[in-house]
Amino acid sequence: MFKWIHLFGSSPFVYRAASWLAPVFGFGAAVCILVGLYLGLVVAPADYEQGDSYRIIFVHVPSAWMSMFVYMVMATSSAVFLIWRMKLADIVAWASAPIGASFTLIALVSGAFWGKPMWGTYWIWDARLTSELLLLFIYLGYMALRSSIEQPQTAARAAAILAVVGVVNIPIIHFSVEWWNTLHQPATISKLDKPSMHISMLRPLLLMVAGFQLLYFHQLMVRVKTGILQREGRTAWVAELVANNRV
């Protein structure tokens, strides 16, 4: 039943699949983000309380959401790598770390730019902001740990353990605005409630979330290809790709 899973152990297959998928995801991301930005910045009305300043939400929320989503991918694939020693899972975790760190940084910086005009401060050490900053440090720590150990197998295992342990921070970020009192407001969109946002603003926000999601998948495919080439540079199938100018 799970015979197909062995296909993902085959580097040439994954490489070909990633080469095919990267532009598809990239195109989808460009369409979603361009349409989302137009609907969000031009078509959507101003907010009753925050005026035009609320439009930072169209970058802030998607990147904050992706900072957590990418981490979940990284932690899951790290666990798969630890248990089944699957090479591809390690490559996915390795490839995701800098992408996730970038989304986290964008969420923190765009949040600061939003905080100054609305709250009156760029930064406050409340539970939401602090736990999101911790997430950035976990990403950076993961990358630092990987590159500080020379033996690739040891580096991969040590980093995978860090990624699995760090997943504890994800529910803390998500529930921080409910467990403790914070300056940050509670979630606008949650699964159980209907969203606290007018449809004219919600539509571009969801488009931007989809766009950022596709952007991550695009980046992931590109980096997975790089990761495979780094590990398999000396194999016959890569030599054949190079000979045919198809890398």
User: Would you give the binding string for another protein spanning residues 148-187, x where CB under 8 A is met?
Assistant: -------------x--xx-xx---x----xxxxxxx-xxx
Cβ atoms of residues 140 and 101 within 8 Å: yes
**Residue of the chain from 118, 140, 158, 162 that contacts another protein (CB under 8 A):** 118
Beta carbon of residue 152, minimum distance to another protein (angstroms, whole number): 19
Residue list 32-51, contact with another protein (CB under 8 A): 45-50
**How many CA atoms within 13 Å lie on the side-chain side of 4?**
1
Window of 22-30, 65-73, 115-123, 238-246 that interacts with another protein by CB under 8 A: 115-123
Window of 25-33, 125-133, 142-150, 225-233 that interacts with another protein by CB under 8 A: 125-133
Residue list 180-239, contact with another protein (CB under 8 A): 180-183, 185-188, 196-198, 200-201
Find, among 199, 148, 139, the residue nearest to 173 by Cα. 139
Beta carbon of residue 42, minimum distance to another protein (angstroms, whole number): 14
Give the span between the Cα atoms of 175 and 190, in whole angstroms. 11
DSSP 30-80: HHHHHHHHHIIIIISPPBTTTBGGGGGHHHHHHHHHHHHHHHHHHHHHHHH
Question: Given the complex with another protein, which of 21 and 167 has the nearer CB atom?
Answer: 167
Cβ atoms of residues 136 and 105 within 8 Å: yes
Give the span between the Cα atoms of 115 and 121, in whole angstroms. 6
The CA dihedral of 221, 225, 226, 229, to the nearest 10 degrees, is 170
Beta carbon of residue 140, minimum distance to another protein (angstroms, whole number): 19
DSSP 99-137: HHHHHHHHHHHHHHHHHHHHTS-S----HHHHHHHHHHH
Question: Given the complex with another protein, which of 26 and 141 has the nearer CB atom?
Answer: 141
Contacts for 183 with CB less than 8 Å, ≥ 6 apart: 119, 124, 126, 129
Give the span between the Cα atoms of 16 and 27, in whole angstroms. 18
**Residue of the chain from 20, 84, 122, 237 that contacts another protein (CB under 8 A):** 84
Window of 33-41, 103-111, 117-125, 135-143 that interacts with another protein by CB under 8 A: 117-125
Tell whether residue 2 is a contact of another protein (CB under 8 A). Answer: no
**Residue of the chain from 21, 35, 109, 124 that contacts another protein (CB under 8 A):** 124
User: Would you give the binding string for another protein spanning residues 57-76, x where CB under 8 A is met?
Assistant: x-------------------
The site for another protein (CB under 8 A) is made up of 45-50, 54, 57, 79, 82-84, 117-121, 124-127, 161, 164-165, 167-168, 172, 177-183, 185-188, 196-198, 200-201
